[in-house]
Amino acid sequence: MIELETPPKRTPPAPPASLEHRRLRDGAFWHALPHYAGIDEATFLDHHWQARNSVKTPEELFETISAVVDDAFIADARQGFEHAPMAVRVSPYLLASIDWSQPYTDPIRRQFIPLLSTARADHPRLTLDSLHEQEDSPVPGLIHRYADKALFLPLQTCPVYCRFCTRSYAIGPDTAGVDKLELGKTPDSWAPVFAYVAAHPEIEDIVISGGDAYQLAPKNITLIGEALLAIPHVRRMRFATKGLAVMPMKILTDQPWVDALVGVVDHGRAMGKEVVLHTHFNHPNEISAITERAMDVLFKRGVYVRNQTVLMRGVNDDAATMLLLVKRLEYINIHPYYVYMHDLVSGVEDLRTSVQTALDIEKAVRGATAGYNTPTFICDAPGGGGKRDVHSFEWYDRDTGVSVWTAPSVKPGKYFLYFDPLNTLTPTMQTRWSVPELQDRMIADALAHAGGTVAALA
């Protein structure tokens, strides 16, 4: 008797909704904002025009959006800026990417324009410099925390200012509540950084951030790149910029900047050294056909790009949005590299999520695309523990919101604490956090479960 073979499984074509990541906003979408209705494509794509017309004060912002929001929203935002640790700077590209019919819930608006009505009180244990970067700064403008990697901060300006900036203690101009720390920002002030790196043969990896590498003049991209490539033990270099997400047209219209970057990339490759670009998209709406065109330029010229996302409430804290972001990034040849827990910085509690949220979203995203395009979810351990896989906590109490982390290869013997936002906890637990003695007890209990003591806190 002949047995029939099992017929092959035939998978039907994917439904159109599953291909949403390929549908990128195109055309003159900026015309939907009346302030830009008369701007032609050539002008809108000019990076000089974008920089000149970026709003740099609350009043400039209100003038730009006055035709699409009501007085109540403007009053709400005006009061929000009075309490914000970051100054305002938003590009026309970003303003035109916001859905102004829903200004209170739009995920891009949430990242750049604070509202008093959505503000939440800071957790009692967070600080302005939650990562304690300055404690690991041997010379101004350099952070040396990991044995073989250093972070170089050659400037303190950005093409836009994000509300949630980790370095709100230093980036941008002073605000009503924060006098900014001065970072080295001229070639003369960079010399001690190069000397320190050259004197430490264990350093093989340099991140050039700030601030933002988009703001470096082409000659300084070349100066920094060549100075670091000339150090024999430096093997890897990453220029970090949010620019692709907030002003992608610079890649299309600033030929000298692109040529300088590509020159360093090509020289590094010829030396057997890796030079890449790191960028920062947080929501799929930040990616347009302009972004795709910019990435085509970089991809064809051999520039590898990785993305680092920040997990934020109301922006990307659901699995569907995060998966769409990941798929859209990989579609335009950007590698989804990290998703960070929001750092414990002051003034943005409305954006932070719980560690449990990160765990749930990571589980949903994993397996939906290729493993190498699945980002690692990270908690940058407050107090200087560095980047820890979000699953690697020693103890996590969902009731108190306290998670305990260790970093054996960074600061052995030390314990680091991350705190879920108070408004994600029960009312009873929120009340407990208002009492300093109970705060200490909850922290001591969490450390005891993790095998540590208060004396071992970083």
What average pLDDT does this structure show over 174-178? 46
Q: For residues 113 and 119, give the distance between their C-alpha atoms in angstroms, rounded to a whole number.
A: 11
- Where does CATH 3.20.20.70 sit in the chain? 133-392
Give the Cβ contact number of residue 382 at 10 Å. Answer: 23
Sign of CA dihedral 191, 195, 198, 200: negative
pLDDT (tens digit, 9 = 90+) per residue, 121-132? Answer: 999 988 766 667
Whether residue 354 contacts residue 364, with contact meaning beta carbons closer than 8 Å, is answered with no
The 10s digit of each residue's pLDDT in 303-324 is: 999 999 999 999 999 999 999 9
Q: Which residue is associated with the tokens 């690991």?
A: 136
pLDDT in tens, 377-393: 999 999 889 999 999 99
Give 224's contacts (C-beta < 8 A, 6+ positions apart).
152, 154, 190, 208, 216
Q: Which of 155-169, 251-265, 337-351 has the lowest mean pLDDT?
A: 155-169
Q: What is the mean pLDDT of the chain?
A: 92
In CATH terms, the fold of domain 133-392 is TIM Barrel (3.20.20)
Alpha helices in 199-302 (DSSP H): 218-229, 243-246, 249-253, 255-270, 289-300
Question: What percent of the chain is modeled with pLDDT above 90?
Answer: 83
Q: What is the tens place of the pLDDT at every residue in 143-168?
A: 999 989 999 999 988 999 998 887 55
In this predicted model, which residue has the larger pLDDT, 174 or 143?
A: 143
Q: How many CA atoms lie within 13 A of 19 on its CB side?
A: 6
pTM for this prediction: 0.92
From the list 135, 161, 150, the residue with the least C-alpha distance to 242 is 161
CB neighbours of 91 closer than 8 A, spacing ≥ 6?
50, 51, 54, 159, 160, 246, 247
CB-based contact 87:275 (threshold 8 Å): no
Q: Which of 287, 130, 155 is nearest to 220 (CA)?
A: 155
Provide the pLDDT confidence category of residue 453 given band limits of 50, 70 and 90: very high
